[in-house]
Amino acid sequence: MKISFPLLWANKTKILLFGAVMLAGGALFFFGFPKIPDGNAGIAAPAPTKAKNRKGDDVAALRKKLNALSPQGIHVVIDTGQNLLFIRKGEQTLHRALVSTGSGNVLQDPSGERKWIFDTPRGVFSVGSKTRKPYWVKPDWAFIEEGEAIPKSYNDRIEAGGLGEYAVGIGNGYFIHGTLYTRLLGRNVTHGCIRMADEDLKRLYQTVPIGAKVMIF
């Protein structure tokens, strides 16, 4: 008789925070059992042992390993499922804020040549820029979405005041910025950027340095 046990796989793009276990750093963890040889001749049954808090011990050991993989300095963690942003320093949470993240909606160019998916990217990024009083240079999709003609002039694309007092760039055209629609915080409604309330955004801008890691899941 041959007995095998399935493996438990942890997706490296997911990070479980502030629960029982945090999975981060792109590590892949496997748990399994050895195969039992065919037949049972000559194999003695294992002696009974006292039950220990194995689960708690395993969780503590795993948390210790995972914390070693996490950034030790100031970094940002964004949970797109719960629409929460955490400013952390090592294992300590310095600030927690309600945010809005990508809607996942799809916009098709009427010409049929282009398509946009408005989702917040998952992965590990870095703070690349910090801007006060930012303005938005509206991309083509912003005009297509509103049914407007795409302007030829660069100046016609500029829109001031919609991004709040600060903008923190994390690369590939994505920013953490303010919002005019604070009633929508906590919902997946954006075109991919992360929106925050004014006071939370100010705290982020003042606390998080250039180069800090931003972990999004």
Known catalytic residues are 177, 193
Euclidean distance between CA atoms 13 and 171, whole angstroms: 18
Interatomic CA distance for residues 143 and 158, integer angstroms: 12
Q: What is the DSSP letter of 213?
A: E
Give the end-to-end CA distance of the chain in Å, rounded to a whole number: 43
Q: What is the DSSP string of 20-41?
A: S----TT---EE--PPBPSS-T
DSSP E strand stretches across the chain: 8-9, 30-31, 74-79, 84-89, 92-102, 105-108, 115-118, 123-126, 129-132, 135-137, 158-160, 166-171, 174-177, 188-190, 194-196, 213-216
**Alpha helix stretches (DSSP H) within 138-189:** 140-145
Dihedral sign, Cα of residue 198, residue 106, residue 147, residue 157: positive
